[in-house]
Structure 1
Amino acid sequence: MTQTKSYTATAKWLHWGMALIWIAAWLVGIVAVHWRDEFNPQHQLTFLHKAMASTLLLLIVLRIAWRLTHAAPAMPDTMTPRLKRAAFIGHLLLYIVALLGLPISGWYWSSVADKPILVAGLFLLPPLVEPDKSLYDLAKAIHTYSAWLCGALVGGHVMVALKHHFIDKDKVLAGMMPGRVE
């Protein structure tokens, strides 16, 4: 892979499309759980949440394949090696925790609870494990705490992107904006 000056159009669409799906699924999940009686008595929000989140599992395969075959632009020279390492670790955590761990923990919870997951309304995911009511509370806790950790990771990602744009005044955020070529 050769180093590029900007993200590819495909990388940008995967980033922003998955970001929108992820944020929507995260918000719908919170509403579905915390205001179940008011907004989710028939579990329609839960089905929507699962459809969106499971779609991310398919897109992450495409995104990882794209990323492995298309190098990201170099970080600005104004960043210290320590900050570049932190950026690498932050992105790695987003991939592992938010894009893989969180959807898989939800899949696990649904499997334990014997609740199907309809991917984007197209097909059912097979259960990861046999139903086991004794694991329900643990599976729920793993998914719930992972969701809050992911919210913090995504919030941090947004804050750092805004810092790059408004404080550092570099091209990091601009390089990820659709339609922009830096």
Structure 2
Amino acid sequence: MSQSNTDGYTSTAKWLHWGMALVWICSWGLGILATHWRDELNPHHELTFLHKALASTLLFVLVVRVAWRLMNRPPALPESMSPLMKRGAMIGHILLYAVALIALPLSGWYWSSIADKPILVLGLFLLPPLVAPDPDLYDLAKYIHTWTAWCCGVLVGGHLLVALKHHFLDKDGILDGMLPNTKN
């Protein structure tokens, strides 16, 4: 049973949004550092382990976030937005969930499975491999994860730019409704 939320996002929705954003951005940055400056910054794979520990949590927190979202309707978009813009917002959010929060962690899990490298979730437990190790698929798995990560960077960057546009140009309160210190 869902409830209407006309006043703004719930505190839980805000915590989930900003917490997942922080974990995602840190994990994304660590992944870039771990791969592109491997010899200089990651010779013993410490950054890789931290990257995997953080990124893997997104799959678990995503379940909580989706459940919360299904039970708590977000506030309506402003009437000043055209139907096309509202549809674009919906598609953009679906893409963020599908690509950045599902496909990217799964592609990393797949790559780690192919490479026979474990993923220790926040130091608590190991994720089971998705597939059997296969050195012949290593380059393909790396390619998929790398390009998915760059596509996610574009999606997240676009999300940020649109939020800033709403705040500074449209002044429609959309960003204000998701900021942590705003009241519902």
Superimposed CA distance per residue, residues 78-117 of structure 1 (whole angstroms, 9 cap, x where no aligned partner): 0000000000000000000000000000000000000000
- The worse-fitting range, judged by mean Cα deviation, of 64-73 and 82-91 is 64-73
TM-score (norm 2): 0.97
The answer for unaligned runs of 5 or more in structure 2 is none
Report the equivalent of 2:109: 107
Report the equivalent of 2:8: 6
Superimposed CA distance per residue, residues 42-97 of structure 1 (whole angstroms, 9 cap, x where no aligned partner): 00000000000001111101101111111011000000000000000000000000
Superposition deviation, residue 3 in structure 1: 2.9
Which amino acid in the other structure matches residue 93 of structure 2? H
Provide the C-alpha distance between the structure 2 equivalents of 1:67 and 1:179, rounded to a whole number of angstroms. 20
Superposition deviation, residue 30 in structure 1: 0.2
Q: How many residues align?
A: 182
Report the equivalent of 1:56: 58
Report the equivalent of 2:69: 67
TM-score (norm 1): 0.98
Report the equivalent of 2:27: 25
Provide the C-alpha distance between the structure 1 equivalents of 2:66 and 2:114, rounded to a whole number of angstroms. 28
Q: What SS is found at the alignment partner of 1:53?
A: helix
Provide the C-alpha distance between the structure 1 equivalents of 2:122 and 2:76, rounded to a whole number of angstroms. 35
Q: What SS is found at the alignment partner of 1:114?
A: coil
> Which runs of 4 or more aligned residues in structure 1 lie more than 3 Å from their structure 2 counterparts after TM superposition?
none
Report the equivalent of 1:173: 175
Superimposed CA distance per residue, residues 134-179 of structure 1 (whole angstroms, 9 cap, x where no aligned partner): 1100000000000000000000000000000000001100000112
Determine if the alignment matches structure 1 residue 134 to structure 2 residue 136.
Answer: yes
Report the equivalent of 1:117: 119
